[in-house]
Amino acid sequence: MTNPLVSIVITTKNEEKNIENCLKSIVNQTYKNIEIIVVDNNSSDSTKEISLKYTDKVFDKWPERSAQRNFWMKEKSNWEYVMYVDADMVLSPNLIGNTIKFMLEWDYNALYIPEIILGNKYWSKVRRFEREFYDGTVVDCCRVFKKDFFERIWWFDETMSWPEDWDIDKKARINGKVWLLPTWAWINLDYWELYEFILDRWIDSNNYWNVIYHNESEFDLSKYISKKWYYAKSFDTYINKWWRSDLDVKKQLWLFYRFLGVFIENWKWKKLLSKPCLTFGMYSLRFMVGIKFLLRKFN
């Protein structure tokens, strides 16, 4: 199996501003044995029309992201590997090829993919700085899975919306061999038409790796907090499934790890001290998200 079929599943809802760049980055992959699946949740804009320019596999599914993600994998595809991305993500050009090569050579069942938040304004830089601490931790989630392994850990839990990422990641770590994709493979920038798009939104642009660029637009604090509140409503389902005493649940949802542990483990505390302005902004965000989490039962 030297050239396996990779299904890339994109879940959407009113993503006309983002979906085309995401799809272009997939079409421009150096690895070509890919099928693109867009699973939409009743968009009222032109998301589906744009998507149909790049793939004929565009479907409607609801009510939540977990059901959208499971839809194609359960019913339709002959895929051998699956990767899940959001519509506001852009893939570096060699990402899929390097991912499959790495999984085949090292026999991994699932992989984390490093992620870089795009944007040049202060809060976007804060989010980019924060995200650097999460790669490959229990706060992160695997994005690429082998088919037989994915079926064995039984899909995404459709009773959750957002914690389904943590849930399937936990099942992956318990049942298989998972790892963080290394970022050391360089790419040919001449191949990638989205090069200038990334340059405009990321000031540290001299190195291009095996990464997903997350184009959250310029950061909107109120929308960010509102989104976190919406996702927090499913936390109790996740907690009840794995119990409050579970070590991963403690790390993901208890204050000590989320406010301190994940930022200082493995010598990462040096990064905190090196960028105090971004560290202050990051802890301000963490505080506001924590308040929303604590208030989730009262809304």
Predicted pLDDT of residue 190: 64
Q: 262 burial class (0-12, 13-18, 19+ CB within 10 angstroms)?
A: buried
DSSP 5: -
Mode of pairing for the β-strands spanning 89-91 and 212-214: antiparallel
Which domains does the chain show, CATH number per domain?
A: 6-219 (3.90.550.10)
Predicted pLDDT of residue 292: 65
Predicted pLDDT of residue 188: 61
Q: 10-residue block means of pLDDT along the chain (299 residues)? A: 88 94 94 94 94 94 79 73 94 93 94 93 92 94 92 86 88 94 68 77 67 80 67 78 88 88 92 94 85 62
Three-state SS string over 212-267 comes to EEECCCCCCHHHHHHHHHHHHCCHHHHHHHHCCCCHHHHHHHCHHHHHHHHHHHHH
Task: Kindly report the pTM of this predicted structure.
Answer: 0.88
Predicted pLDDT of residue 210: 87
Q: How many CA atoms lie within 13 A of 40 on its CB side?
A: 21
Predicted pLDDT of residue 37: 93
Predicted pLDDT of residue 14: 93
| Nearest-angstrom CA–CA distance, 220 and 222 | 6
Predicted pLDDT of residue 204: 63
Predicted pLDDT of residue 245: 84
Q: How far is CA 219 from CA 99, 119, 120, 174, 223, in A?
A: 29, 7, 9, 35, 9
φ/ψ (deg, to 5) at 213: -90, 125
